[in-house]
Amino acid sequence: MTDRPTLRLKQGPTATRVLGVGSTQPDRVVTNDDLSEIMDTSDQWIRDRVGIIERRFAEKDELLVDMAVTAGSRALADAGVDPSEVDTVILPNCTMPSPIPNAAAQVADRIGISSPGAFDLNAACAGFCYGLGVASDLIRAGSSGQVLVIGAEKLTDAVDPTDRANAIIFADGAGAALVGASEEPGIGPVVWGSAGDLVDSIYMREHKYIYQEGQSVFRWATTRIAPIAIRALEAAGLEPSDVDVLIPHQANLRIVEAIAKKLRAKGAREDMVVADDIKYSGNTSSASIPMALDHMRAAGTAKKGDVVLMVGFGAGLSYAGQAIICP
Ligand code: UT7
């Protein structure tokens, strides 16, 4: 009998953390009044039902990859890390104009990252939390050193501008996080899942425009997502009272508030800061969580060392959440 060779495996560091964060939004501000000039809606309806005051729309020649390059570069600058030190780029998104080519490879090249592993990840509005979980586990397994995760969306390409149910919600932007090894754990285990039986509640009609059954997604999000957030805390060995900052996907301010209320009923503190970035950013799908984190760090409402609980949810239906330590 010949000896069979055994495969050698790598072992990475035990812990990871977010080293830096960055984001970008288009310059063009679109108010509710602007929208009410082109469709049957009103500032009052949008504020009351969704919580959005204004959002940003990209110009025609401002692409998803352009926003991803800016957000990714800013996350590297925030971490003080040179592009040459990154070996993997994950780009959660669901609005690339076509599936080929992916966004990640060209974005990495434009940032100056040389021949990284690069792939897009589609878990819609849960994409960033999925990407962060994959990044952390790649590093811990020894497969990657430093991983750049960039959630980027140009949702205005995917929305019928005359569809008042969707055109008032969705917007454009990108947010990124650089992930690397850490002595102390800075990213908790990801808790994720899906409900493929509800696939028809959000989809693209004829590969063109997003359609969603708003009310049923709303009910699902307000009942099923807080328990996922609590499971993410448990997975990290934390209690609801440990959470300093809660960042749910910015789909609708009423959903955000419902999730916060459920967490407080389970012991989260009254002074827990709750992200309300949707007010000025709209719903930017996979970009919404890292963009909110970046804005909250800049505003001082999320501080270095804070326990931040993030939870994403959306088409698939898909969901994912984890606790992190704010960089
Ligand atoms: O990010 C991915 C995950 N997505 C979500 O989590 C979205 C979850 N769903 C929602 O956030 C909400 O369902 C929407 C914001 C999409 C819609 O709000 P809603 O309170 O559920 O409104 P609705 O669809 O039940 O419509 C209520 C009424 C209807 O009129 P009638 O039939 O009662 O006369 C709609 O035609 O509001 C009307 N309506 C509007 N009125 C003014 C719908 N859109 C608008 C609008 N302006 N933009």
Q: Is the CB of 47 under 6 A from ligand 1?
A: no
**Ligand 1 atom closest to residue 166's alpha carbon, by position in its atom list:** 16
Residue 45 Cα to ligand 1 midpoint, Å, equals 9
Amino acid 206: pLDDT: 77
Residue 163 Cα to ligand 1 midpoint, Å, equals 11
Q: Is the CB of 35 under 6 A from ligand 1?
A: no
Is 207 exposed, middle or buried, given 0-12, 13-18 or 19+ CB atoms closer than 10 A? exposed
Amino acid 201: pLDDT: 95
Kindly give the residue spans of alpha helices, DSSP state H, lying in 18-120.
32-36, 43-49, 64-79, 104-111
Q: Is the CB of 164 under 6 A from ligand 1?
A: yes
Written as one string, the DSSP assignment of 251-304 is S-HHHHHHHHHHHHHTT--TT-EE--THHHH-B-GGGHHHHHHHHHHHHTSS-T
CB-CB contact of 176 with 287 (8 Å): no
Radius of gyration of the chain (CA): 19
Nearby residues of 92 by Cβ (< 8 Å), 6 or more positions away: 120, 121, 122, 123, 127, 128, 130, 131, 149, 150, 151, 152, 286
**Ligand 1 atom closest to residue 217's alpha carbon, by position in its atom list:** 8
Nearby residues of 66 by Cβ (< 8 Å), 6 or more positions away: none
Residue 280 Cα to ligand 1 midpoint, Å, equals 19
Amino acid 55: pLDDT: 98
Amino acid 205: pLDDT: 78
Amino acid 2: pLDDT: 73
Domains annotated for the chain, with CATH where assigned, are: 16-181 (3.40.47.10), 191-325 (3.40.47.10)
Place of tokens 């878990």: 123
Q: Which two tokens stand for residue 280?
A: 């000025």
Place of tokens 């969580």: 289
Helices vs. strands in the chain: H and E counts, helices first: 10, 14
Q: Is the CB of 283 under 6 A from ligand 1?
A: yes
Place of tokens 């679109």: 30
CB-CB contact of 56 with 26 (8 Å): yes
Amino acid 8: pLDDT: 94
Q: Helix 214-235 vs helix 253-265: angle between axes, to the nearest 10 degrees? A: 40
**Which of 218, 289, 311, 319 is the pocket-test mutation for ligand 1 (most atoms within 8 Å of CB)?**
218
One pLDDT digit (tens) per residue for the chain, 327 residues: 578 999 999 999 999 999 999 999 999 999 999 999 999 999 999 999 999 999 999 999 999 999 999 999 999 999 999 999 999 999 999 999 988 999 999 999 999 999 999 999 999 999 999 999 999 999 999 999 999 999 999 999 999 988 999 999 999 999 999 999 999 999 999 999 999 999 999 999 777 899 999 999 999 999 999 999 999 999 999 999 999 999 999 999 999 999 999 999 999 999 999 999 999 999 999 999 999 999 999 999 999 999 999 999 999 999 999 999 999
**Ligand 1 atom closest to residue 35's alpha carbon, by position in its atom list:** 48
Catalytically annotated residues: 125, 249, 283
Q: Is the CB of 314 under 6 A from ligand 1?
A: yes
Q: Is the CB of 58 under 6 A from ligand 1?
A: no
- Buried b or exposed e, range 41-56, using 16+ CB within 10 angstroms: bebeebeebbbbbbbb
